[in-house]
A = this chain, B = another copy of it.
Amino acid sequence: MYEDRIRRPALMNKLMSADQAALLFKDGMTVGMSGFTRAGDAKALPAALVERARQGTPLQLTLLTGASLGNESDGLMANAGVVARRMPFQADAALRRKINSGEVMFIDQHLSETAEQLRSGDLKAVDIAVIEAVAITADGGIIPTMSVGNSASFVQQAHKVIVEINLSAPLALEGFHDIYVPAARPHREPIPLLTPAQRIGQPTIRLHPDRIAAIVITDSPDSPSNALPPDDETDAIARHVITFLEGEVKAGRMDTSLLPLQAGIGTIANAVLHGLVDSPFRNMTMFSEVLQDSAIELLDSGHLAMASASSITLSAAMHQKFLDNIEQYRERIVLRPQEISNHPEIVRRLGIIALNTALEFDIYGNVNSTHVGGTHMMNGIGGSGDFARNGQLSVFVSKSVAKDGAISSVVPFAAHVDHTEHDVDVLVTEWGLADLRGLAPRERAPRIIENCAHPDYRPQLRAYFEEALLGGGQTPHVLEKALSWHARYKREGSMLVK
């Protein structure tokens, strides 16, 4: 039984239930789990840990992952009090509440940096790694499932490794992964990746089999993507982006294969990529952190030659399609550790076009990606900073308003800054696109206001900017009013002055 999944017979005696494996955990431990944007997350151990905590065992863990988990695992663990500290990303409503109430300490990190900080000892070492796998090979290699995330680094560092073999993950996933982990600094070689398609590592996560402390069998599929379908506004955003990229091609700054594309997780970025199915661009590549439905559509339509990422997060229907045609995708998709998919060295070398979603941005182009109202965490910065800083073109997209117009995404002063104006080249809403390259802040403001803001908010923004100019400066502001829009929303339920 399971001979195709556990190909090293000596490991069969490590098979146990998730409840048994959960006994390996001790209060205060640091745990590294697989899982990146709901893909490839460990399915059984989170539930088993919750159960152990419910039975009264104190179990306050520091939980590291690739990115967000599926199956409501983050929320279940948070509500059971299992998670004391969490990094580097999450996207769960229940965990979010615990974070914003101060019950869970959330350390929001650039996704390329967590593995580096573990390696350098800046973060406490991982005690136990829990890794979802398709199979364990005869030489003891772990074949990951639909994401790689930080799994290879967790395995490298952990004292004990628990492997969750997921029977619902097809054996045909073998060969999608390219596992390369940089050496410790300061004696590190260049990362030899020169193109999105290149493979530079091993197809499995290598470890000495003795380090596998437990093998647990599961069969639950990944949670499907919760990205919403495109709508009129995301279609308009996509059109603005495509027109802009056509201009870049005409100006000779790139050819019709563009530059490798990155697109952040979520509805708007997915919609923009979806729009490229109707674009004149051909033979494109992706070098991204997550592949959503749109990436598969572009591979199928032939617009996209290949795609590199750290995870694949699909809707249920697209997931089935992917499985049905998996052989076609294996040569065209590479799944990498997130340290490599997001690595500044590689992103800068390849010259990525980075498409990421903003919660809000200010009239000078500073972007808030994370904090609702400047204070409350939504998900986390994710890889947006890795790509926006180091790519050739940094594009942020947002709908111009939220809450039926009560919130303007374009504000005088970002109530939280994740990306500074230095790292933001282009801003796009359904109303238009602001190309900010080579502009000073005083030149950026009118372009952002007139091209991107909702017309209802433009008079207020113009008035703010004009008043700010009276005080002078490189980045004029009226400090007393800079955050007044957010305060007004909190007080009156709308940023709009009646």
Contact = CB atoms under 8 A, between A and B. Distances in A.
Interface of A: 85, 99-102, 105-110, 113, 116-117, 120-124, 185-192, 194-195, 251-253, 259-260, 343-345, 348-351, 366, 370-371, 373-377, 381, 385, 389-390, 392-393, 415-420, 422, 425, 437-440, 442-443, 468-469, 471-477, 479-480, 482-484, 486-487, 490
19 contacts: A107-B438, A110-B422, A116-B392, A121-B251, A185-B392, A186-B259, A187-B194, A188-B350, A190-B190, A190-B194, A190-B349, A344-B345, A344-B389, A373-B479, A375-B472, A375-B475, A376-B474, A418-B420, A479-B490
Contacts of A107: 438-440
B253 A122 contact: yes
Nearest to A438: B123
Contacts of A192: 190
Contacts of A253: 120-122
A448 to B, nearest CB: 16
Contact of A194 (B102, B189, B476, B487): B189
Contacts of A469: 102
B440 A349 contact: no
Q: Which 6 A-B pairs have the closest CB atoms?
A: A185-B351, A375-B473, A190-B190, A377-B474, A105-B440, A417-B417
Nearest to A440: B105
A432 B319 CA distance: 54
A105 B441 CA distance: 8
B480 A487 contact: yes
Contact of A106 (B120, B373, B474): B474
B350 A185 contact: yes
A382 B187 CA distance: 27
Contact of A422 (B105, B418, B479): B418
Nearest to A371: B475
A439 B106 CA distance: 8
A420 B422 contact: no
Contacts of A110: 422
B349 A185 contact: yes
B479 A374 contact: yes
Given A186-B260, A415-B479, 18 more contacts: A85-B440, A100-B473, A106-B474, A107-B439, A108-B422, A108-B474, A120-B351, A122-B393, A185-B350, A186-B259, A189-B194, A344-B344, A344-B345, A344-B348, A345-B348, A366-B417, A371-B475, A417-B420
B420 A349 contact: no
A389 B389 contact: yes
Contact of A440 (B106, B390, B393): B106
A124 B385 CA distance: 26
A345 B349 contact: yes
A474 B99 contact: yes
B472 A102 contact: yes
A169 to B, nearest CB: 32
B122 A374 contact: no
B109 A422 contact: yes
Given A385-B422, A425-B122, A474 B371 contact: yes
Which of A101, A113, A348 has the largest count of B CB atoms less than 10 A from its CB?
A: A348
A375 B476 contact: yes
Nearest to A346: B345
A85 B116 CA distance: 39
Nearest to A88: B422
Contacts of A476: 375
